[in-house]
């Protein structure tokens, strides 16, 4: 299940980071710091999400 979670993390991490970056840009936060924070938060949120999805699939 760990390998499945790692594979899902690649896809889910990029998706959540992209969603949060777009949300930050739409909110008018167009400097470097909010974009980096949004991408880091997206990747941090992707860890439990990918584990949850992997446990539902396995």
The mean pLDDT value for 37-56 works out to 96
Give residue 58's pLDDT.
Answer: 85
Instruction: Give 1-43 pLDDT, tens digit per residue.
Output: 899 999 999 999 999 999 999 999 999 999 999 999 999 999 9
**29: alpha, beta or left? (left if phi > 0; alpha if psi -120 to 50):** beta
Q: How far apart are CA 50 and CA 17, in angstroms?
A: 13
pLDDT of residue 42: 96
Is residue 55 packed enough to be buried (19+ CB in 10 Å), middle (13-18) or exposed (0-12)? exposed
What is the count of structural domains for the chain? Answer: 1
Helix and strand numbers (H, E) in the chain are 2, 0
Task: Give the Cα separation of 41 and 43 in Å (integer).
Answer: 5
**Domain that residue 41 falls in:** 2-57
The pTM of this model reads 0.88
What's the pLDDT at 5? 95
């Amino acid at each position: 299940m760990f390998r499945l979670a790692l594979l899902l993390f690649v896809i889910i991490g990029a998706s959540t980071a992209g969603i949060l970056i777009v949300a930050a840009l739409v909110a008018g936060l167009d400097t470097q710091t909010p974009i980096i924070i949004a991408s880091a938060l997206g990747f941090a949120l992707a860890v439990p999400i990918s584990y949850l999805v992997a446990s539902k699939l396995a």
